[in-house]
Every structure is written in structure tokens, then in C-alpha cells.
Amino acid sequence: MTWLLPVACAAAAGLGGFLVPWLVGRLPEPVPRDTASEQPEEDEGDGDPAEEPEADPEPPKIPYAELATRPGLGWRSALAGAVAGAIIGASVGPDWWLVVLVPLVPVCVALSFIDWHTKLLPTRLVLPATAYALVAVVVGWAVTQQTDDLVRALLGLVVARSFFWVLWFIHSAGMGFGDVRLAALLGVGLGHLGWAELLTGMYAGFLVFGLPGVLLAIVRRDRRLLRTAFPFGPFMLLGALVGVVTGPWIASYLAWG
């Protein structure tokens, strides 16, 4: 039955969500910037306070071990994972790529939680997840011989990472190198699904990030809110979920002209 797949995806992603506290708690702390001059890309987030002397000093980073003990983190992560898993299962349908996407849901939940509280996207989560997706792409191609899926996934990685690298290079507000790495992971996941999912998912992240801030600034009549730095990773991930949901509809609409 059609409802079994979303339920199964929700159950799998929800169970994985209970592991988020364990995952967060096992992360090593990033090397401080002043002692890691030779390792500038070890663990970067969404800003560079050293090049913004006029900004207020950032508060001390919350240790990962402390974040992992936040009350309710387990069940909240499980709930978020179950909702995202159900949405992905219902949108993608009976496709083997769910074997890749669903296990990544708890990782993305953990990344969103960490980035929101620390403005960091740990390399030790992003890079293994990206490697897992790439290996799955190659194995899937070897089994199915679907070259188009392989090419889209690889091009999706290159396009998404390059686009966000340009934004990071020109120091766009709130953009850090961790976002560039995350873009590569999302590029593989969305690119394998289709071009519409990839482009919509990338664009939706900026809409989800920007529109609430603009509306809040208008309501409060405070333009300073537009210059407030927020972590971008959670919005990138939410935008990717929007791409998964709306991509097939957009592709169908464009096909019909």
C-alpha cells in the first residue's frame, strides 16, 4: 500500500533520530582558530569574527558534550527525523535512493541542531556523510547502469559546492566554509533525484532563510535585523527538503510547458 513506504521511512529516520545525542556527544571539539593557522578548514561555520572587528564578540562555544545532554534532544530529534523521513518517502516513492536519503536524515538533524547553537557544521559529520552518498551513487550505477543518475549526482555536487564556494569567497553575510561542504552533500542527494530537485532545493534555502527575516524587520521596523548573523545550515537543509517535495511537480510543470 502507498502509505507503507512513508511510514517505514518515518520509522527508520525517527529511530535514527534517537541517536542524535550520542552522535553530537562523540564529536571532538574544533581546534581554536589561533592555534590552527595551518588547518583553516578543520571546522568552520557561518562567519569569520576575526575579519569583522566592529561586530560584537561571539560568546564562548557551547561544548558538544554539553549540547548532547540538552533535555528532550533525543525525542525532538526523533520527531524531526520521523517527519522528514515521511515527507521524503512520500515524495520520492519506491526508489532505491531512499536507502541513501533516509539514513542521512538523522545526520542532517544533528547538523541543524549543532549549527543553530554553535554556528559550526562539523567536518567529521559532513565529509563522511558525503563520502557515503558518493559511494552509494557509484554502487547504484554499477548495479542499475543508470548513467544519467550518476552524472546528475556528480554534477550536482560540483554545481552546488562551486556556487556556495563563490558566495563564501566574496564573504556573503552569514556564509561559512561549513556551508560549502554541506552544499556538496546536498548536491549529491538532490542531483541524483533530478535537476528540478537540485535547483529548487538550492534556491529554496535562500527563500526560507531570507523571507522570515525581511518580514520580521518590516513588522518591527528595525533594519538592523537584516544585518544579524544567523546559521545558514538549517535553512539549507530545510530548502533541500522543499526541493525533494516540489521538484517533481516543477519538473512536470516545465515538461508540460
- Domains in the chain: boundaries: 4-32+40-255
Helix, strand, coil tally for the chain in percent (to 5): 75, 0, 25
Give the whole-angstrom CA distance, residue 257 versus residue 251. 10
What sign does the CA torsion over 239, 244, 249, 253 have? positive
Q: What value does the mean pLDDT of the chain take?
A: 85
Q: What is the pLDDT of residue 47?
A: 44
Q: How confident is the model at residue 36 (pLDDT cuts 50, 70, 90)?
A: very low
CA 60 – CA 66 distance, rounded (Å):
13
The confidence band for 216, taking pLDDT boundaries of 50, 70 and 90, is low
Residue 41 pLDDT class (50, 70, 90 cuts): very low
Under 8 Å between Cβ of 84 and 105: yes
Mean pLDDT of 3-22: 96
Strand partners for 45: 120
Give the separation between CA 164 and CA 182, rounded to whole angstroms.
9
Whole-number pLDDT of residue 60? 84
Q: In which region does residue 60 sit, left (phi positive, over 0), alpha (psi from -120 to 50) or beta (all else)?
A: beta
d(CA 21, CA 69): 7
107 pLDDT above the threshold of 60: yes
pLDDT at 154 exceeding the cut of 70: yes
- Strand residues in 92-233 grouped as ranges (E): none
**How much is the pTM?**
0.85
The count of C-alpha atoms lying within 13 angstroms of the C-alpha of 27, restricted to the half-sphere facing its C-beta, is 30
Spatial separation of the C-alpha atoms in residues 31 and 216, rounded to whole Å: 35
Q: For cell 552569514, what's the residue? A: 174
Cα–Cα distance between 136 and 238 in angstroms, integer? 23
| C-alpha distances in Å from residue 148, one per residue of 96, 138, 163 | 15, 12, 22
